[in-house]
């Protein structure tokens, strides 16, 4: 879990510990593990984090999972092509973002690396760049909306 997204304003963002606690309640702890590893690695940008993870866990087969909202703006991320070259990734659909995400500069630039969603189970073993857009139930809830709905301390 990222200490903070450089493309988003810090105001209104929950502290890392609160976001991590929320993510751990959702993750299954086996196939999906929520950690604050970016804070311990001291990385700020995804490209640096993925590089550090591969160095630290050279035998692990990672798949980076992101929402369609992130795919839409991926081309604005620092060294986004290095990110795509670092490990395979899966894109989770998000209401109102899907069409723009699939028409985004990053998706167009990586169109030759897109795999059929039926190959998603094999994604971890694929050489990057490789990615899938997953057919999945969509949830319109944003982190901001979830925080706003929670009762205060």
Q: Write out pLDDT tens, residues 3-52.
A: 455 555 556 667 888 888 888 888 877 777 888 888 889 998 999 999 99
Q: Indicate whether 39 and 67 sit together in one domain.
A: no
Contacts 24+ apart (CB under 8 A), 96-105: 96/140, 97/67, 97/68, 97/69, 97/71, 97/72, 98/68, 98/133, 100/68, 100/72, 101/68, 101/69, 101/71, 101/72, 101/133, 102/68, 102/71, 102/133, 104/71, 104/72, 104/73, 104/74, 104/75, 105/75
Check residue 6 and give its pLDDT.
59
14/73 same-domain check: no
Q: What percent of the chain shows pLDDT beyond 90? A: 61
**Are 89 and 33 members of one domain?**
no
What is the pTM for the complete model shown? Answer: 0.80
Taken in order 142, 144, 148, 150, the sign of the CA dihedral is positive
pLDDT in tens, 89-98: 999 999 999 9
What's the number of domains the chain is made of?
Answer: 2
- Identify the pLDDT of residue 1: 47
- Domain that includes residue 6, residue range: 1-44
State the pLDDT at residue 74: 97
Nearest-angstrom CA–CA distance, 48 and 56:
12
Same domain? For 65 and 102 the reply is yes
Residue scoring higher pLDDT (84 or 24): 84
21 plus 88 within the same structural domain: no
* Residue 31 and residue 67 in one domain: no
- Given CA atoms 83, 85, 88, 91 in this order, what sign does their dihedral have? positive
Is 145 a member of any domain? no
Over 90: is that where the pLDDT of 102 sits?
yes
> How big is the CA angle at 126 (ends 81 and 38), to the nearest 5 degrees?
55
The share of the chain scoring above pLDDT 70, in percent, equals: 83
144-24-80-135 Cα dihedral, nearest 10 degrees: -80
Q: Which residue has the tokens 């490209």?
A: 47
């Amino acid at each position: 879990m990222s200490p903070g997204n450089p493309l988003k304003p810090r105001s209104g963002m929950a502290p890392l510990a609160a976001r991590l606690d929320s993510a751990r309640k959702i993750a299954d702890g086996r196939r999906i593990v929520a950690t604050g590893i970016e804070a311990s690695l001291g990385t700020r940008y995804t490209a640096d984090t993925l590089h550090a993870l591969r160095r630290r866990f050279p035998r692990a087969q990672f798949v980076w999972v992101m929402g369609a909202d992130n795919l839409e703006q991926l081309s604005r991320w620092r060294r986004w092509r290095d990110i795509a070259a670092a490990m395979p990734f899966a894109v989770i659909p998000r209401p109102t973002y899907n069409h723009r995400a699939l028409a985004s500069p990053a998706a167009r630039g990586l169109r030759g690396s897109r795999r059929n969603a039926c190959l998603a189970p094999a994604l971890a073993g694929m050489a990057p760049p490789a990615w899938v857009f997953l057919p999945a139930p969509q949830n319109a809830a944003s982190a901001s909306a979830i925080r706003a709905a929670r009762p205060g301390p």
